[in-house]
């Protein structure tokens, strides 16, 4: 492209071409979905096993989460230098997950009051994945969101440690599977 005069028709073609380039710009945040997905999945399954073999204070496995937060910050800083364009969609998704992150921190304090926080956590997963999926128009995330909404209702009918199985399912469907699909989609877009 160079500096030259154009006709009105050519103008419209340029505007359309350039806007299409930014419209489908997918920000590769699949690594973050996979990081939190796997971390939460492993913690959930480990806690379930610990309860089954009668080990006390099984909830201690969640101490791993602040470590994951540190890895998260490291990934974000490393990715920042690679990001050449900041889209409004990317910003909206960051804001959404920051808010959900704050909500998770707040919920941890309820856990210390012996309040069951699992339904709320699944509900937050559902909101995060559903809205992210809608923003970037990525169906696996939207689908994961719907399933997590259903699981957050189903959990009311399930007792004790079996709730952890639903939690693991929610993580698998709303984080891990869409995370892998998102990664694949991003690679296809780059190719």
Partner 1 sequence: MKTFTELDPILHSQLRLAIMSLLVGVKEAEFKYILEATQSTNGNLSVQITKLKEAEYIEVKKAFENNYPKTTCKITKKGTKAFEKYVSDIQKYLAVSRKS
Which of 20/106 has CB closer to partner 1? 20
Taking the complex as a whole, the smallest distance from the CB of residue 87 to partner 1 amounts, in Å, to 5
Tell whether the torsion through CA atoms of 94, 99, 100 and 102 is positive or negative: positive
The answer to whether 100 and 137 are in contact (CB under 8 A) is no
Taking the complex as a whole, the smallest distance from the CB of residue 168 to partner 1 amounts, in Å, to 36
Query: Considering only CA atoms, which of 134, 120, 166 is closest in space to residue 147?
Result: 166
Which of 15/115 has CB closer to partner 1? 15
Which of 14/60 has CB closer to partner 1? 14
Q: What is the rounded distance in angstroms from the CA atom of residue 164 to the CA atom of residue 168?
A: 6
The answer to whether 76 and 97 are in contact (CB under 8 A) is no
Which of 18/67 has CB closer to partner 1? 18
Query: Considering only CA atoms, which of 140, 137, 139, 135 is closest in space to residue 174?
Result: 140
Taking the complex as a whole, the smallest distance from the CB of residue 40 to partner 1 amounts, in Å, to 30
Taking the complex as a whole, the smallest distance from the CB of residue 135 to partner 1 amounts, in Å, to 14
Residues that bind partner 1 (CB under 8 A): 1-6, 8-12, 14-15, 17-19, 21-23, 25, 81, 84-88, 90-91
């Amino acid at each position: 492209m160079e500096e030259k005069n154009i006709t009105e028709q050519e103008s419209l073609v340029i505007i359309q071409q350039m806007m299409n380039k930014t419209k489908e710009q997918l920000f590769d945040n699949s690594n973050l979905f996979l990081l939190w997905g796997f971390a939460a999945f492993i913690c959930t399954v480990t806690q379930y096993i610990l309860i089954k073999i009668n080990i006390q204070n099984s909830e201690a496995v969640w101490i791993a989460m602040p470590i994951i937060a540190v890895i998260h910050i490291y990934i974000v800083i490393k990715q920042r230098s690679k990001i050449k364009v900041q889209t409004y969609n990317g910003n909206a998704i960051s804001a959404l997950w920051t808010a959900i992150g704050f909500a998770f921190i707040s919920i941890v304090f309820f856990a210390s009051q012996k309040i069951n926080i699992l339904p709320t956590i699944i509900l937050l997963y559902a909101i995060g994945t559903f809205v992210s999926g809608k923003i970037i128009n990525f169906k696996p995330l939207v689908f994961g969101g719907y399933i997590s909404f259903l699981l957050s209702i189903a959990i009311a009918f399930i007792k004790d440690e079996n709730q952890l199985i639903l939690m693991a399912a929610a993580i698998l469907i709303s984080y891990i599977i869409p995370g892998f699909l998102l990664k694949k989609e991003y690679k296809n877009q780059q190719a």
